[in-house]
Structure 1
Amino acid sequence: MDARLLISLVCVAAAANAPVASAARAFFVFGDSLVDNGNNNYLLTTARADAPPYGIDFPTHQATGRFSNGLNIPDIISEHLGAEPALPYLSPELQGERLLVGANFASAGVGILNDTGVQFVNIIRIGDQLEYFRQYQQKLSALIGDEQATQLVNQALVLITLGGNDFVNNYYLVPMSVRSRQYALPDYVRFIVSEYRKILGRLYELGARRVIVTGTGPLGCVPAELALHSQNGECAAELMRAVNLFNPQLVDMVRGLNRDIGADVFVTANTYRMNFDYLSNPQNYGFSNVQVACCGQGPYNGIGLCTAASNVCADRDAFAFWDAFHPSERANRIIVGQIMHGDTDYMHPMNLSTILAVDREGL
């Protein structure tokens, strides 16, 4: 065999055995239906998006468990990372070298609190998502060794999206809910923010060092809430009050956590502002409808689930909402654009493009 060919083959083999160095940055996702990419497909739960018309604009045109007509926020972030989307943790395909991409632990219906989403029965509550993250790291260590596994996790990007369900599917789920009788709204917000701090602290203990924490969008403006509470298309005032209490306290909590750690581990994304920009000025973003869901039925297409029997709009790019609660792929792309490039009104203390640049310099 030619010596140069032999050296080339040895180099190729060496590269194949150094997966952490050669792989794109790993990506881990925690949270609810805004970022779930199919974990609930593997669970006996009503919180599922595994049937048409979900996925109508996905590359395969099939429903995948994403609550979207196409790609969701983690998918689009993965595009920017130059990586394939991380698989759902419960997917049987998540093994071997696919572990190096990361994993998505999110589960539709969950919240900060364990009693959020109880009506969906079998979902992966946030404590269980964190336990799965620990188990994932054991599998990763078996694949590449403890030291490289720790390095991959420390250098990974993490996204966590929680909070909306703690209002919609807990405090305001029914009149006089258990939590609304237990807490006045300001006290409830303080309580869930304090519980969220514990969750983020646990993520840090598990090795996460770059974590994007999203705030809650304008919950009172989603089609489901308009259908229930709106007379003339105005956003539901009580839910907007909740969001306006929650988001500033979340930012303050994250800043305090970073101070305690001594580093900007956690970055807040002002998803309220990101959403409200196009909801308040739809023509500037090419939307013709920011109140009616593309898929659904009843007022604002906001009643019930998106199913094969639902109305479905022909031009999904013209609609800000895909279903009663979730943005369309086009809206998701606008949100990720601000996560990537937004100024400090949107991303604090820095946007994702800056994070990636800073971390490249540090490696």
Structure 2
Amino acid sequence: MTNSVAKLALLGFCILQVTSLLVPQANARAFLVFGDSLVDNGNNDFLATTARADNYPYGIDFPTHRPTGRFSNGLNIPDLISEHLGQESPMPYLSPMLKKDKLLRGANFASAGIGILNDTGIQFLNIIRITKQLEYFEQYKVRVSGLVGEEEMNRLVNGALVLITLGGNDFVNNYYLVPFSARSRQFSLPDYVVFVISEYRKVLRKMYDLGARRVLVTGTGPMGCVPAELAQRSRNGECATELQRAASLFNPQLIQMITDLNNEVGSSAFIAANTQQMHMDFISDPQAYGFVTSKVACCGQGPYNGIGLCTPLSNLCPNRDLFAFWDPFHPSEKASRIIAQQILNGSPEYMHPMNLSTILTVDSMT
């Protein structure tokens, strides 16, 4: 009898030990990432799509010096935010390695090529559209609940930091993809922006309904200033007017929509990041930030290295830290660090209603 009691006690102790390993520590915070290629860290590597970054020289400055699926020479913005949080960057949701304790640290659902609208990026075929990313989020909750129980899962999701980056592809890879595109024939640009914002609002509201309570929402960058658009639409190196007009319409309306949504839910659940201004700071004065150029991509070909994809046969700059853009569309790691610092510490001009450092301080007191 005594032996049986001892065995039961030992079994109970072991169960408690295993459970304690799975339950996130009090100071840990899950990090959930949604969006497009600016924040994708490898999901598209598991898909049959042309929107992928799994070849050299992508990842040339990553710690492993190998491509990871990130559209960067090294780290991207989710990595840099994770670095500040002192934890590993969340793994791609499609990775078979994402399980147990790694699942409790969060997940990256992002997929290159997607937009707010489901018809954005159709040329890339098999990508994880935002509606599917939200379905995966629901699936993620079930998986976490299976590990730690529903109550702890809800605590983890409610306390998670969430990042979502969408919008640029709805213009570059939809409205302006080809002359007389279906959406450009359906909407004038101002009406299209209103429509896209209304659809984005549904996405964010769904995210809130699924339990997200701290969501960083980035605007579009200065879409007309990326090397790809300079190569196609600019004769003198000036930013493409129409795409800049689109960004100037979209971003203020995004901030207003977020303000209205926060009023509706009664809290500062959504934080607007003015990534257009963050980019324009170093695009308009690259030398002030240590860049030699903000027009020419490090990796590419043609005018401004802005034509086609970054491949092993592309032109490749020897020092990526001197270039604001890594490839025709995406910032270099150094430029991403500048953006991440503004997300962390930026003034209300950049972060509304507060920056990430303030969020972390406020949330640590609750």
- State if a TM-score over 0.5 links the two structures: yes
User: Structure 1 residue 133 and structure 2 residue 111: aligned?
Assistant: no
Rounded to whole Å, the distance in 1 between the matches of 2:278 and 2:28 is 27
Choose from 156, 164, 169 the match for 1:165: 169
- 1:198 and 2:199 aligned: no
- Give, in angstroms, the shift of residue 283 of structure 1: 1.3
> Aligned match of 1:153 in 136, 150, 157?
157
Counterpart selection for 2:253 from 249, 252, 260: 249
Of 53, 57, 60, 1:53 maps to 57
* Consecutive unaligned residues in structure 1, runs of 5 or more: 1-5
Pick from 104, 111, 115 the counterpart of residue 115 of structure 2: 111
Letter in 1 for 2:254: L
Residue number among 138, 141, 146 corresponding to 1:142 in the alignment: 146
CA distances 1:72-117 after superposition (whole Å, capped 9, x unpaired): 0000000011110100000000011110110000000000000000
> For the residues of structure 2 that align with 1:142 and 1:254, how far apart are their CA atoms?
33
> Which of 78, 85, 90 is matched with 1:86 structurally?
90
Question: Quick one: distance in 1 between partners of 2:365 and 2:229?
Answer: 45
Q: Which residue of 2 aligns with 1:304?
A: 308
Distance of 1:101 and 1:59 partners within structure 2:
20
> 1:151 & 1:282 partners in 2: Cα distance?
43
By how many angstroms is 1:23 displaced? Answer: 6.2
Q: CA deviation at 1:231?
A: 1.1
Residue 282 (structure 1) shift = 1.0
Alignment partner for residue 179 of structure 1, among 177, 183, 188? 183
| Maintained 8 Å contact 1:23/1:100 | no
User: Are 2:22 and 2:100, in contact at CA under 8 Å, matched by a contact in 1?
Assistant: no
Change (3 A) 1:79 1:110: same
2:42 maps to 1:38: yes
CA distance in 2, matches of 1:164, 1:151: 32
Whether the 8 Å contact between 1:15 and 1:22 is mirrored in structure 2 is no
Q: What secondary structure sits across from 1:258 in the alignment?
A: helix
- Asked if 2 retains the 8 angstrom alpha-carbon contact of 1:224 and 1:324, the reply is yes
Higher mean C-alpha displacement, 18-27 vs 120-129 = 18-27
Task: Describe the shift of the 1:264–1:70 C-alpha distance in structure 2 as closer, same or farther (beyond 3 A).
Answer: same
- Which amino acid in structure 1 is aligned with residue 339 of structure 2? I
**1:132-160 C-alpha deviation (Å, 9 max, x unpaired):** 00000100000000000000000000000
Report deviation, 1:44. 0.2
Supply the distance in 2 between the matched residues of 1:84 and 1:332 (Cα, whole angstroms). 17
Whether 2:220 is the aligned partner of 1:216: answer: yes
Paired residue secondary structure (2:365):
helix
What is aligned with 2:333?
A: 329
Q: Secondary structure at the match of 1:20?
A: coil
TM-score by length of 2: 0.95
- 1:14 offset after TM fit, Å? 7.6
Which amino acid counterpart does residue 257 of structure 1 have in structure 2? L
Out of 225, 234, 243, the position equivalent to 1:230 is 234
Residues 293-333 of structure 1 deviation map (CA, whole Å, 9 limit, x = unaligned)? 00000000000000000000001000000000000000000
Aligned mates of 2:151, 2:20 — CA distance in 1 = 18
Q: SS of the counterpart of 1:21?
A: coil
Amino acid at match of 1:266: F
* Alpha-carbon shift at residue 284 of structure 1 (Å): 1.2
Opposite residue 59 of structure 1, the aligned amino acid is: P
Distance 2:38 2:241 in 1: 22
Q: Which stretch shows the higher mean deviation, 150-159 or 12-21? A: 12-21
TM-superposed deviation, 1:13: 3.4
Letter in 1 for 2:262: N
After the TM superposition, which segments of 4 or more aligned residues of structure 1 sit over 6 Å from their partners? none
Q: What is residue 28 of structure 2 aligned with on the other side?
A: 24
Tell me, what secondary structure is at the counterpart of 2:24?
helix
> Number of aligned pairs?
355
8 Å contact 1:110–1:123 — kept in the other structure? Answer: yes
Q: Is the 8 A contact 1:24 1:82 kept in 2?
A: no
Q: What residue is the counterpart of 1:3 in the other structure?
A: none
Q: Does 1:361 align with 2:365?
A: yes
Secondary structure in 2 aligned to 1:212? strand
Counterpart CA distance in 2 for 1:338 and 1:282 is 16
Distance 1:309 1:162 in 2: 30
Matching residue of 1:342: 346
CA contact (8 A) 2:29 2:161 kept: yes
Q: Is the 8 A contact 2:197 2:253 kept in 1?
A: yes
Cα shift at 1:243: 0.4
Mapped partners of 1:233, 1:18: distance in 2: 53
TM superposition shift of 1:63: 0.2
